[in-house]
A and B are shown apart, each in its own frame.
Chain A
Amino acid sequence: MSSLILFTVFAIYLLVLILIGIASYRTGVSTAEDYFMAGRSFGCVVLFMSLFGTNVTAFALIGMPGISYHAGIGTFGFFGAIAAFVTPMSFILLGYPIWNIGRRHGYMTPSQMFGDRWQSKGIAYLLFVLLLLYTVPYLIIGLMGGGIAIEAISKGLVPYAMGAAFVTGVTVIYTSLGGMRGTAWTNVFQATLFLVFLLIAFFGISAKLGGFEAIGQRLIAEAPQLLGKQHPRLAPGIWATGFLVGPLSVIAFPHIFLRLMTARDSSALRRTILMYPLGLVLLYVPITLIGVWGALDIPGLIGKESDKILPLLVEKHLPIWLSAVGLTAILAAVMSSLDGQILTISTMLTVDIFAHQRQKALPIVGRIGVITIAALCLSVALLRPAGIFDISVYAFSGYTLIVPVMVAGLFWRKSTAAGILSGTVAGHGLLALYYIGLEFPSFGMFPVFGCLVVEAFVIYLVSIRTSPPSPQTIEKFDNPFGKSSSKHRPTHPKLVGH
């Protein structure tokens, strides 16, 4: 009976996704800009849900309660509160200029925009390779998460490999059919699903545990350490630089970069930014408290075992159908990021590598790209490589090191191609050396902080000794906060040198 309910909820979820994909396909996709950027037409609600759904991964529903189970309520301040401020602030100071200049000149990808900024093929290809290197591991982890979730939903009836293949297949169907519009509409559905589920689970579990007041008294009496911020994971140096690894890196995720450029106008972008903190509070406060309550209700989980605390609490206290919705919500969080990443890599390959194709052929190239990338990543996911998780931790810091390139490109007229190339190689090289074992003093902070300082210093030092691009090139990036016209002229995307 329980398996039947689980399969029914799951089947309805997948059916809705495919129907949304078909509906967005029927809306009509004729140009590259329509397929990859949805014609830059998203209003506030779709833009917000699309950014939010893509930004929130399974970490929020699995990893974060697992951490708060051990580290306590400080987890919200460390991950949630700072992200609710720094990420939208980066959208204001960097996202708006990216949207504005992207709209002005028809840019679609980071490599295209910043390669053109310094008239440098080298920068374009370097960014392309780095972003690919940092995004692909996430994609593979997403597929692995999908396989694991389905195996859990089916209680082992559907094996991991078949589950991962199934998630890939469904994601490919709606992503290749609907492009950006399809993934954004499905993100609205997916983000609504996991937010609503989380709020129901939050109030449902608290009621079963005797209400907020009773839980509070138990916490003070039985586990007061969970109410403080003394856990080693929340040490002051790590706490102070934590915003560099998570919240600041979001603007450099290529799937977020592309989605920001789909805003219809500055008003949609502004409202989205102001809604972002509320969305993150609604997500992270309940999930942190659920993890802490779990430590009281189901004590004794060691290490990564605590990652299962949300499904365990839901299974223990809530009806079976809600348990089924919960597992589907976890899958929704996985897939809402997965589709954005697959589409983004396809966009990067199509726009940055195959831009010489006819405009009408680009959506077809993009669809082939979606299928090829998904198939390649699935074949790696089936091997379940253990080292992939270490690479993904490294990738977060890597994204952060893209930010100085954005800042220099948008705001520093004297920055040069040589400066950017050498700074990028220095920063990312140092980070790679650290992760393969080079010891350097980090003074209790995240190591990316030192890499960031080195990168910025090298960019500055080399730039002041070399010549910037021509004034005509720099002028294209002038006035990044200037008012954008409500209509823009779509341009055929070109990579430097094509």
Chain B
Amino acid sequence: MRRTRLVTIAATTILFILHNNWWSWQPDLTMVFGKIPVDIVYRVLWVVAGTGVLWLAIRAWWGPSNE
């Protein structure tokens, strides 16, 4: 449990570092598959990774599910 908590904290820190506005991305002017702005795709993937961290956090603090 302690190890899972440490991994969760580390993953959360990485997520916060990746969620920033410190640099201006040149690929901003690129469309993924020609359709969706790259920043939107990046942020959606960030949320997907975040959901994984949320799942990890639940296991780390609430314990494994009884189901």
Instruction: Write out the residue numbers on chain B whose beta carbons fall within 8 Å of the beta carbon of A208.
Output: none
Does residue B10 face the partner (Cβ distance < 8 Å to A)?
Answer: no
Interface of B is mostly: helix
Query: In whole angstroms, what is the CA distance A288 to B43 when docked?
Result: 12
Does residue A48 face the partner (Cβ distance < 8 Å to B)?
Answer: no
Query: In whole angstroms, what is the CA distance A77 to B4 when docked?
Result: 27
Query: In whole angstroms, what is the CA distance A236 to B46 when docked?
Result: 18
Q: Could you tell me if A216 and B61 are in contact, using CB atoms closer than 8 angstroms?
A: no
Q: Mark A47-81, 1 if CB is under 8 A from B, else 0.
A: 00000000000000000000000000110111011
Give the residue name and chain of the B residue nearest to A280 (CB): B47
Instruction: Write out the residue numbers on chain B whose beta carbons fall within 8 Å of the beta carbon of A274.
Output: 51, 54-55, 58
Instruction: Write out the residue numbers on chain A whose beta carbons fall within 8 Å of the beta carbon of B62.
Output: 92, 96, 266, 270, 481
Q: Which of A85, A88, A216, A230 contacts B36 (CB 8 A)?
A: A216
Q: Could you tell me if B57 and A89 are in contact, using CB atoms closer than 8 angstroms?
A: yes
Q: Could you tell me if A216 and B24 are in contact, using CB atoms closer than 8 angstroms?
A: no
Give the residue name and chain of the B residue nearest to A480 (CB): B61
Give the residue name and chain of the B residue nearest to A80 (CB): B43
Q: Could you tell me if A267 and B58 are in contact, using CB atoms closer than 8 angstroms?
A: no
Does residue A296 face the partner (Cβ distance < 8 Å to B)?
Answer: no
A48: min CB distance to chain B, Å: 14
Q: Which of B21, B46, B65 contacts A235 (CB 8 A)?
A: B21
Query: In whole angstroms, what is the CA distance A278 to B61 when docked?
Result: 22
**Known A81-B46, A219-B37, A235-B21: A92·B61 in contact at CB below 8 Å:** yes
Q: Could you tell me if A213 and B46 are in contact, using CB atoms closer than 8 angstroms?
A: no
Give the residue name and chain of the B residue nearest to A74 (CB): B39
A349: min CB distance to chain B, Å: 33
B37: min CB distance to chain A, Å: 5
**Known A227-B28, A267-B67: A236·B43 in contact at CB below 8 Å:** no
Instruction: Write out the residue numbers on chain B whose beta carbons fall within 8 Å of the beta carbon of A93.
Output: 57, 61
Instruction: Write out the residue numbers on chain B whose beta carbons fall within 8 Å of the beta carbon of A230.
Output: 24
Q: Mark A260-298, 1 if CB is under 8 A from B, else 0.
A: 000000110010011001101100010011000000000
Does residue A212 face the partner (Cβ distance < 8 Å to B)?
Answer: yes
Query: In whole angstroms, what is the CA distance A289 to B24 when docked?
Result: 20
Instruction: Write out the residue numbers on chain B whose beta carbons fall within 8 Å of the beta carbon of A235.
Output: 21
Q: Which of B19, B39, B40, B61 contacts A96 (CB 8 A)?
A: B61
Instruction: Write out the residue numbers on chain B whose beta carbons fall within 8 Å of the beta carbon of A288.
Output: 40
Q: Could you tell me if A76 and B65 are in contact, using CB atoms closer than 8 angstroms?
A: no
Q: Could you tell me if B37 and A73 are in contact, using CB atoms closer than 8 angstroms?
A: yes
Q: Mark A382-395, 1 if CB is under 8 A from B, else 0.
A: 00000000000000
B17: min CB distance to chain A, Å: 10
Q: Could you tell me if A227 and B58 are in contact, using CB atoms closer than 8 angstroms?
A: no
B43: min CB distance to chain A, Å: 4
Q: Could you tell me if B47 and A236 are in contact, using CB atoms closer than 8 angstroms?
A: no
Query: In whole angstroms, what is the CA distance A220 to B32 when docked?
Result: 13
Query: In whole angstroms, what is the CA distance A246 to B25 when docked?
Result: 25
Does residue B6 face the partner (Cβ distance < 8 Å to A)?
Answer: no
Does residue A239 face the partner (Cβ distance < 8 Å to B)?
Answer: yes
Q: Could you tell me if B19 and A77 are in contact, using CB atoms closer than 8 angstroms?
A: yes
Q: Could you tell me if A228 and B54 are in contact, using CB atoms closer than 8 angstroms?
A: no
A residues near B (Cβ < 8 Å) are 73-74, 76-78, 80-82, 84-85, 88-89, 92-93, 96, 212-213, 216-217, 219-220, 224, 227-230, 234-236, 239-240, 266-267, 270, 273-274, 277-278, 280-281, 285, 288-289, 481, 483
**Given known contacts A81-B47, A85-B54, what 5 new A-B pairs fall within 8 Å (CB)?**
A73-B37, A92-B62, A212-B35, A213-B35, A281-B44
The 8 A-B residue pairs with the shortest CB-CB distance in the complex, in nearest-first order? A85-B50, A212-B35, A239-B21, A216-B31, A81-B43, A77-B43, A84-B47, A277-B51
B residues near A (Cβ < 8 Å) are 12, 15, 19-22, 24-25, 28-29, 31, 34-37, 39-40, 43-44, 46-48, 50-51, 53-55, 57-58, 61-63, 65-67
